[in-house]
Structure 1
Amino acid sequence: MKKHLPNPLKFKFHFLFLTLIGFSFIGISQTSELSVEKIMQDPNWMGTFPSNVKWSADSETIYFDYNPEKNTKDSLYKIDLSNTSKISKVSLEEERKLISRYGDFNKDRSKKIFSKKGNLVIYDVKSGETTQLLDLSESISNAEFMADENKISFTLGDNAFIYNRKVGSIKQITNIKSGKAKEEKEEKISDKDAWVRDENLELLEVVNQRKTEEKNEEAYREATAEEETFTFYLEDRNLSSLQVSPNAKFATFKLITRESGENTNVPNYVDESGYTVNLPARSKVGENQTKVELAIYNFEKDTVYNIKTDELPGITDLPDYVKDYPDKEWEETDREVVPTTVYFSENGEHAVVNIRSKDNKDRWIAKINLETGELNTLDRQRDEAWIAGPGIGYTFYGGEDMGWLPDNKHIYFQSEETGYSHLYLLDVTSGNKKALTEGDFEVFDPELSNNKKHWFLTTSEVGPGERHFYKMPVMGGKMEKLTQMEGNNNVYLSPDEKNMAILHSYSNKPWELYLKKTKANAEAKQLTEGQSEAFSNYEWREPELIEFEAEDGAMVPARLYKPEADVKNNAAVVFVHGAGYLQNAHKWWSSYFREYMFHNLLTDLGYTVIDIDYRGSAGYGRDWRTGIYRHMGGKDLSDQVDGVEYLIENHGISPEKVGIYGGSYGGFITLMGMFTEPETFKAGAALRSVTDWAHYNHGYTSNILNEPAADPIAYRRSSPIYFAEGLEGDLLIAHGMVDVNVHFQDVVRLSQRLIELGKEDWEMAIYPVEDHGFVEPSSWTDEYRRILELFNESLLD
């Protein structure tokens, strides 16, 4: 007879029993220095690790968030280059005086303009002095030097201004107002009221005379009034991204019309008020009514006009998936597009814009004719799945790595044209495009050097499991590798580019801060040593990076944790990372640090653990990224199954002793595995899992599965709730009740489905105070002791 999962009380009692006497099973004694309580306690127990690194404006001091006092949150600390052995806490007074990392430098980088507490401030690099230039009634933002550096543009409210430093004058250069223009409205009254009015005017001479005089005065005012200044009215739209061209001839801005879809509410049953309070949350996929227009403000013509997107190449193209719906009539019309960002050349004479189709299958980079609003397409990227990848950005939010070289002729951008995200230059005068990087690797965060002669960039050229920092000539050429430490190197260049502050980590070593000269052969000096004694006393494993062959011939990367032979229990646990597009089989400290520690505990107890970068994961190029298009639970799940086959064939794992677990996307894969691959997975823990993709958000889901009404096939084959009848093994479902990302409703609907199907071998653990990412150590501990109990009970009997 199939064994049922123990009830929660049994979980608690059994776990306490195990911690008292050591973990023991039939014929084998397996123990660990670790326990669930230890690894799931407040992360402060691990030590103090630096984050959020930034430099002082004079390049003499490194600032970073740190917490050696174990306070409720980090504080700001610093290390001066004059004494790198000393770490000091930054006083509030010093912190208030720091120069913002944001703002705009002039061409020779001698001055920086920025907004501080809503005021306009200028910083002199040589003297180190800051001067407040403007303190106005509203907050100043988006301050930039113009081509004439005596002039600074900025925005205030919905309008743009220019401050002339030479004469100290301020000029408003746009006249944008909310609402609608005043129009003469015809008086609309009923026939009855019109009769009463006319009868009254006919009977009462004085009233009639006053009405006539009023009309005559209004007519005189209109005839003698001076011509009004041009005003652009937003009407029912919101203004965004207002920016002025460096030559002050044009401004561009976005007009956003939002039609809110039907949002869902997440009930909070433990609100401090004692009442159930609904938390506002997102709408579901398919609710995407936002319209974005790009407008040009022409100062010489004193008018505003929109850019024209109807001539973009392929604007009417239908996606390939329509072939799966031969009975549906598809109309070829102009697709809706979203302009993300406008980029002006340094002299202000040229501008390019990045435009995305709302279905996210096209990205156009186009030159704008600023006089007419017409577009000349320079580059079109089409992906029948969806446009994405490092440096390419997102449909509504931009975020692409893009800009101009100082020659006012070349633009740079990233593209997955070759299957990997690389850096390109394009001559806007000739249309010629040149790849600056190439190969089976990806490029991250390219930035021009101060003198505009070189690029600084991070790549995965050494291998997908490493990140290193490089320097390269601006027009392309050999990349010089500036970091040498194996793992991940997050580099923060000093403003003078002479030094690099590096956050470095390895697979079994959390992040620490290093200092290195910006030279390939310089030695990196470690500045922090954050591990606590309790954490460093355990010998944390370095997981083995492996590859195994999938059913379609692809080589799948994974992390492997192998137990010692004398404790090996021939059982395996498959961990599925979340987010879908995320990398976890790498050589640096994982963002899943709790899970990493749990895998060490499992391995101590004799389990073999595999952590797979399945199809859809980041770090391996376009084809890997889009391998889940229109079928979540397809190749991403078969990669897990093939990983199990690899363990059975190569590491002596018993086919009857395999469990699977993961959170969010990993929880979704766990459910799909338990429902559709019951012969492979005997137990599973699905944490904060999506159960029906039609109930998730639009931005993420519509890229991968399109929209439910347009592509129901993709949703039906991708959603676990449709396959619940396949459950045979032991399933634990765990979910936070105030999860505003993957709503608690997901597992409520699934539980009802399991009840109606008569399924018995499942349990649900609910966490009343937790959102999607748990924060309470008690919740983490409760959740993971249930997972451990599940595997111990289901896989080792």
Structure 2
Amino acid sequence: MKQLFIGLGCLLIVRATAQPPAPLSSQLTVEKIMQDPKVWIGTSPSGIFWAEDSKTIYFNWNPAQAKGDSLYKITLGGDRKPVKVAPAERRILPPVTGGIYNRARRLKLYEKDGDLFLLDCKPEKNSENPFRQLTNTVERESNPVFSGDEQKVVFARSNNLFTLALATGELTQITNLDPGSKKADPKSNEQETWLKRDQLALFDVLKERKAKKDEGEKITKAGQPRRPKQFYTEGRTVQNPQLSPDGRFVTFSLLKSAQGAKTALVPSYVTESGFTEDLTARTKVGAPFGSSEFYVYDIERDTIQAVSTKTIPGITDAPDYAKTGPSPASVPDSNRRGPSAGESTGDTARKTKKPAERTVTISGPIWSEDGKYAVVIVRAFDNKDRWIMRLDPATRQLKLLDRQRDEAWVSGFGPLTGMTGFLADNQTFYFPSEADGYAHLYTVNVATGEKKQLTKGKFEVQQIQLSNDKKHFYLTTNEVHPGEQHFYRMAVDGGERVKLTTMTGANDVTLSPDETKLAIRYSYSNKPWELFLMNRRAAPNEPSLQNKGRQKPAQPSAPVQLTHSLTPEFQAYPWRDPAIVTIPARDGQTIYGRLFKPAKPSGKAVLFVHGAGYLQNAHKWWSQYFREYLFHNLLTDKGYTVLDIDYRASAGYGRDWRTGIYRHMGGKDLTDNIDAAQWLVKTQGVDAKRIGLYGGSYGGFITLMAMFTTPDVFAAGAALRPVTDWASYNHGYTANILNEPFTDTLAYRRSSPIYFANGLKGHLLICHGMVDVNVHYQDVVRLTQRLIELKKENWEVASYPVEDHGFVEPTSWMDEYKRILKLFEERL
């Protein structure tokens, strides 16, 4: 929504309504809001799924404030009272992730606890138990699917494929992938070869005996049952073996682990043993990574061969940053790392004489129901390309259907997570793409290559589900408002979207198997998640919903709340509904934020910076940062104006907003926060010298960058579990945004706070868990040493010996937020 309101020549603001102070009986303290949430707030329902008859809803819940959640169910035909599920029933129920249906949706396969089960979804009234356990073994069986003729179950065990005949129980091994190495047969030298040939030429008896032996071996082999071809993987890991619907081909990937990739260790000091114990964490960005090859086993021809990627369009295309190299002017000479001033980080790439074929991974295939077409999704390791390609398994040839290239990084949205598949015609493949700048739904005909965009606009399609009859899509989008999520129904060829949910906020819908009812996990800004139920609204001329057998026609209804999770103590406080505001950024874009406005403003203000991993916080539903939300209410009670924004790279606003931090974290994401602080001064009566900020993880990183590079904007900051040097973070997240430290040195130099620490003027609090296996405690130790050497005195570090990246213990939360509050009270 980055262009919304641009060019109107004025600032549009949703005004916050000042709220009177809370009554004394419900006044907030840090100790109160940071206590165990299940005790004083309550536990919201989660993990929602339906029984196959669409009459029972299952979910995890904890109204009894036990140590852990339990499985509950609500039967719609009864009093709709939540009842805890008995252990015997719980053991056989399908997992939350569901399973695989046959084409008639009568049978459902699933794996649970390493064994396979088959569920009859429409049992006869007098039938036996509809649950049938297919395996009960020590080895783990996984990824069960129906064979193309639906007479067998295909599944993986110990990296090999097997089939189990449903009628007879016959077990057949399809692949023989051996993790070892093939021993080479000793080869005869020239002398031995000549002697053998000469012996056979001289002596008829030897010639006759050899012919008789060869014929016997041939007869013996012909009479033996056919076994799968043995293939040695040479220590490589088998991934995603699949049998084609016609039973002829098996596809699989082999992953070769990286050699020499050093894994960081995190020491744990407070342990049961009394000794310091090392926790295995992760590698750092730029570490050597493994390689992956995609293979096709042709059972009929008894051959196993790799799929070549050489013909993929653009396979040798180098990224733009490696061709040109950036200007280093934005980094002070005193903070430089790597090449000297003026040296391009793209020099190495330009010296390459022949373009190298990029490393890729191939996922899939996704087969059409008739088994005629197979589609794979190919992604480059450098994150710049995603290809959707048709695979001909007989020839192992790839044909391009769609290519999405992004010189920043291609969104990971969609591949093989239920976001892709075939329509009923077995030719039309649907998939999400950011081709027009927003995440939308597309189709491509795999036979003709014709593409079609089904949704369009300045919003994002966030979830995709195909209807049972494959005639409609169910979509979750934020088209009403960037801060709302609603559920829609749309024909598979596009057109009008029918909005099915009505409540303002977030509607996380689990559709009943018969598609007549919506189980909605719903929340609003000041209302935690609860479970609601409503009948699905019928589309015009939809007989399938108007008459479900002998049932009465399903009528649309208002959502009915099924769970009530909140404690009386929590409900006693009038939690604020923060106003959604829009703030102009210096480059003309629009920043969305949530504003907490006190009844009696004191001139003090605090900005909260949410974490990353691609998420959103300026929205109209219950925040995952609920402790921070509670803390903001406490601050507002004390006269602070509080604002948190969806800065550049936040989720929900399209590709350009998502990639706005490419090659410079601490660039536009930081200036968005600075522009927000200046907006508070201009419009909310905030004192420019009394503004603080805080945040965790990426929010901690932004806090450090703000305190180090814009020290006159913020008087105080609290950086919680912050990244201090991006070269120390992981590969999967960091390489998307900053490439690799040794190929794009400048991106890391200008994005890492440790190289700007000399700029600190205001008061800084750093809090970090010592057993953090995500952002390692080493980050803070290195920054601490840097601040010591710089002779800075206006900072402090609070360490938490038993806490990981996300704190668990209430006492740790209390200590951390008491320190944050003290910082703001004393320095603002």
TM-score normalised per structure 2: 0.86
Deviation of 1:247 after TM superposition, in Å, equals 1.2
Partner of 1:453: 471
Q: What are the within-5 Å matches in structure 2 for residues 284-433 of structure 1? A: 284-322=284-322, 323-324=324-325, 325=344, 327-328=347-348, 329-331=350-352, 332-388=355-411, 391-393=413-415, 399=417, 401-433=419-451
Deviation of 1:97 after TM superposition, in Å, equals 2.9
Deviation of 1:114 after TM superposition, in Å, equals 2.4
Partner of 1:77: 72
Tell me how far apart the structure 1 counterparts of residues 138 and 777 of structure 2 sit (CA, whole Å). Answer: 45
Deviation of 1:31 after TM superposition, in Å, equals 12
Partner of 1:257: 256
Deviation of 1:249 after TM superposition, in Å, equals 1.3
Q: What are the within-5 Å matches in structure 2 for residues 57-76 of structure 1? A: 57-76=52-71
Tell me how far apart the structure 1 counterparts of residues 33 and 183 of structure 2 sit (CA, whole Å). Answer: 65
**Structure 1 contact 561–610 (Cα < 8 Å) conserved:** yes
Structure 2: 5+ residue runs without aligned partners?
1-20, 124-128, 190-208, 326-343, 539-555
Runs of at least 4 residues of structure 1 off by over 6 A?
A: 217-224
Tell me how far apart the structure 2 counterparts of residues 355 and 426 of structure 1 sit (CA, whole Å). Answer: 16
**Structure 1 contact 50–66 (Cα < 8 Å) conserved:** yes
Tell me how far apart the structure 2 counterparts of residues 582 and 287 of structure 1 sit (CA, whole Å). Answer: 26
Is residue 2:131 matched to residue 1:130?
Answer: yes
**Aligned residue identity for 1:291:** S
Partner of 2:117: 121
SS in 1 for 2:264: strand
Note closer, same or farther for the CA distance 1:219–1:263 as it changes in structure 2 (3 Å cut): farther
Tell me how far apart the structure 2 counterparts of residues 733 and 480 of structure 1 sit (CA, whole Å). Answer: 49
Partner of 1:231: 230
Is residue 2:580 matched to residue 1:545?
Answer: yes
Q: What are the superposed Cα offsets for residues 487-522 of structure 1, whole Å, 9 maximum, x if unpaired?
A: 000001111111111000000000010011111742
**Aligned residue identity for 2:403:** R
Partner of 1:149: 150
Deviation of 1:525 after TM superposition, in Å, equals 0.5
**Structure 1 contact 31–605 (Cα < 8 Å) conserved:** no
Deviation of 1:68 after TM superposition, in Å, equals 1.3
Q: Give percent identity, aligned residues only.
A: 53
Note closer, same or farther for the CA distance 1:269–1:185 as it changes in structure 2 (3 Å cut): farther
SS in 2 for 1:790: helix
Q: What are the superposed Cα offsets for residues 660-705 of structure 1, whole Å, 9 maximum, x if unpaired?
A: 1000000000000000111101100000000000000000000000
Structure 1 stretch displaced more, 571-580 or 626-635: 571-580
Tell me how far apart the structure 2 counterparts of residues 163 and 48 of structure 1 sit (CA, whole Å). Answer: 42
Is residue 2:43 matched to residue 1:51?
Answer: no
**Aligned residue identity for 2:404:** Q
Tell me how far apart the structure 1 counterparts of residues 693 and 298 of structure 2 sit (CA, whole Å). Answer: 60
Q: What are the superposed Cα offsets for residues 253-303 of structure 1, whole Å, 9 maximum, x if unpaired?
A: 110000251011111111111111111110110014211111111111111
Tell me how far apart the structure 2 counterparts of residues 129 and 32 of structure 1 sit (CA, whole Å). Answer: 52
Partner of 1:556: 591
TM-score normalised per structure 1: 0.89
**Aligned residue identity for 1:156:** R
**Structure 1 contact 580–616 (Cα < 8 Å) conserved:** no
Q: How many residues align?
A: 732
Partner of 2:34: 40
Q: What are the superposed Cα offsets for residues 112-146 of structure 1, whole Å, 9 maximum, x if unpaired?
A: 12234444332212216122344456332222112
Partner of 1:522: 557
Tell me how far apart the structure 2 counterparts of residues 616 and 546 of structure 1 sit (CA, whole Å). Answer: 18
SS in 2 for 1:510: strand
SS in 2 for 1:718: coil
SS in 2 for 1:660: strand
Note closer, same or farther for the CA distance 1:563–1:135 as it changes in structure 2 (3 Å cut): closer
1:464 corresponds to which of 479, 482, 492: 482
Is residue 2:728 matched to residue 1:727?
Answer: no
Deviation of 1:185 after TM superposition, in Å, equals 4.5
Deviation of 1:61 after TM superposition, in Å, equals 0.8
Q: What are the superposed Cα offsets for residues 538-597 of structure 1, whole Å, 9 maximum, x if unpaired?
A: 0000001001111111111001111113xx210110100001521000000000000000
Note closer, same or farther for the CA distance 1:370–1:712 as it changes in structure 2 (3 Å cut): same
Partner of 1:707: 740
Is residue 2:792 matched to residue 1:769?
Answer: no
1:633 corresponds to which of 652, 655, 666: 666
Q: What are the within-5 Å matches in structure 2 for residues 665-680 of structure 1? A: 665-680=698-713
SS in 1 for 2:27: coil
SS in 2 for 1:283: coil
Structure 1 stretch displaced more, 117-126 or 90-99: 117-126
Q: What are the superposed Cα offsets for residues 396-436 of structure 1, whole Å, 9 maximum, x if unpaired?
A: xx547211113111101000001100111100111010111
**Structure 2 contact 26–572 (Cα < 8 Å) conserved:** no
Partner of 2:769: 736
Partner of 1:606: 639
SS in 2 for 1:633: coil
Deviation of 1:340 after TM superposition, in Å, equals 2.3
Tell me how far apart the structure 2 counterparts of residues 250 and 133 of structure 1 sit (CA, whole Å). Answer: 24
Tell me how far apart the structure 2 counterparts of residues 657 and 140 of structure 1 sit (CA, whole Å). Answer: 60
Alignment RMSD (CA, Å): 2.2
Tell me how far apart the structure 1 counterparts of residues 821 and 693 of structure 2 sit (CA, whole Å). Answer: 11
Note closer, same or farther for the CA distance 1:279–1:116 as it changes in structure 2 (3 Å cut): closer
Tell me how far apart the structure 2 counterparts of residues 456 and 585 of structure 1 sit (CA, whole Å). Answer: 25
Q: What are the within-5 Å matches in structure 2 for residues 204-223 of structure 1? A: none
Tell me how far apart the structure 1 counterparts of residues 396 and 152 of structure 2 sit (CA, whole Å). Answer: 26
Partner of 2:205: none
**Structure 1 contact 691–720 (Cα < 8 Å) conserved:** yes
Structure 1: 5+ residue runs without aligned partners?
1-23, 25-29, 189-216
Deviation of 1:369 after TM superposition, in Å, equals 1.4
**Structure 2 contact 418–465 (Cα < 8 Å) conserved:** no
Q: What are the superposed Cα offsets for residues 52-109 of structure 1, whole Å, 9 maximum, x if unpaired?
A: 1111122111111111111111111111101244111111112113234532211111
